[in-house]
Structure 1
Amino acid sequence: MAPALAALVIGTVAATAAAADVGRVTPSGYPVPRYVTLKFGKVNARAGPGDDHRLLWVYSARGLPVQVVAETAEWRRVCDPDGGLAWVHKRVTDGRRSVINTRNRPAPLYRKPKAGAETIAYLNSRALASLVRCEKGWCRVKTDRTSGWVREGTLWGTTETVQCR
């Protein structure tokens, strides 16, 4: 088989398998991938699903958004905003959604979800905000002091695509 055709066939098979995974039943009953937040200010990240697996690092950011990319009945394999993959126990996650500005510059928050809308505030680099909802390419986020709209994909945690590979 020609290399280009082989790549096309392999790519099609991978895409079909990925599409099939979206509809599969998970131990929690929730879809994978999905976003959750870390419930505590200190969360152990492990190399595998169990306390007997090597400790990789400790997350120290309560409310940090992470993306669940795999799961067992008790453990969640998560992707973090820096691209790290690790396993955390399900009890340390929360279904509430948050987002983080991973860019090196402040992200503008707009009064309305449309191009050219008035900028009402900025979300600093590495700052967290609660995700209220997304619609038509825009997401409403809320901080302690204000709420506003950002374009979907501007902040980490606003797109449904898999963030880590």
Structure 2
Amino acid sequence: MIWKAWAGALVALLVAGAAWAAENRGPVTNLPLPRYVSLKTDQGNVRRGPSLSHRIDWVYKRRDMPLEVTAEYGHWRRVRDRDGAGGWVHYALLSGVRTAIVEQDMLQIHTRPDKESPVAAKLELGVIARLEECGPDWCELRAGGFRGWAPKTAIWGVDPDEILE
């Protein structure tokens, strides 16, 4: 009897896990939701809904700006920026290239993922950098011809538990 109860509980957990995984994948791309992307162009219209007939609420004007995709509908992606503002953007305006925005003024990037290592450069608040890789606590950034490591807590565009190789 205990074996049957245990087996039933295991099946329930597997079904719940499969449902959770399906819910956290985009219905169009089957990619994880949420996920980070970047703006491919110098400007991108942000619309109230997923079609050209929906009103443009504002325009993003920074190429490579990191955005978080939170939903998908046809050729449209609902995104939000670091301030939590968002809307619907056509997928052609987005890139899978990973970038991050510096959240700390004069952020020191180091030659190694260690705060005691030499400083390679300092980045101003709001700088957009290319994400090269991320470990548990540090990410390697490239910006303005400089390359170095920064703590994840000082940038926006990567989840705290995300590892990029």
Compute the displacement of 1:48 (Å): 0.8
Partners of 2:72 and 2:124 lie apart in 1 by: 32
Measured against aligned partners, the alpha-carbon deviations of 1:76-100 in whole angstroms (never above 9, x if no partner) come to 0001122202110000000001111
Whole-angstrom distance in 1 between the partners of 2:79 and 2:98: 14
Give 2:65's aligned residue: 64
Offset, 1:19:
4.7
Mapped contact 2:136–2:160 kept (Cα < 8 A): no
Residue 21 of structure 2 is aligned to residue 29 of structure 1: no
1:125-145 deviation line (CA, Å, top 9, x unaligned): 111110001013110010131
Report runs of 4+ in structure 1 exceeding 6 Å deviation: none
1:145, 1:25 → 2: CA distance?
Answer: 35
Q: Give the Cα–Cα distance (whole angstroms) in 1 for the partners of residues 160 and 46 of structure 2.
A: 23
Matched, 1:144 2:138: no
**1:32-64 deviations in whole A, cap 9, x for unaligned?**
111111111111000111111111001111111
Residue aligning to 1:89: 90
SS at match of 1:153: helix
Q: C-alpha distance in 2, partners of 1:151/1:118? A: 14
Q: What RMSD over aligned residues (CA atoms) do the two structures have, in Å?
A: 2.1
One-letter code aligned to 2:41: F
Q: Following the alignment from structure 1 to structure 2, what is the Cα–Cα distance between the partners of residues 45 and 51?
A: 10
Query: Partners in 1 of 2:118 and 2:93 — Cα distance?
Result: 38
SS in 1 for 2:129: strand
Distance 2:122 2:20 in 1: 37
Counting aligned pairs with the same residue, the percent is 34
* 2:50 corresponds to 1:49: yes
Separation (CA, whole Å) in 2 of partners of 1:81 and 1:118: 29
Q: State the match for 1:100 in structure 2.
A: 101
Structure index of larger Rg: 2
1:73: Cα distance to partner? 2.1
Contact 2:110–2:120 under 8 Å retained in 1? yes
TM-score in terms of structure 2 length: 0.80
| Offset of residue 74 of structure 1 | 0.6
Task: Give 5+ residue unaligned stretches, structure 1.
Answer: 1-15
Q: Is contact 1:27-1:72 (8 Å) kept? A: yes
Contact 1:81–1:102 at 8 Å: present in 2 too? no
CA–CA distance in structure 2, aligned partners of residues 111 and 73 of structure 1: 43
Aligned length: 144
For 2:119 and 2:95, locate their aligned partners in 1 and report how far apart those are by CA, in whole Å: 31
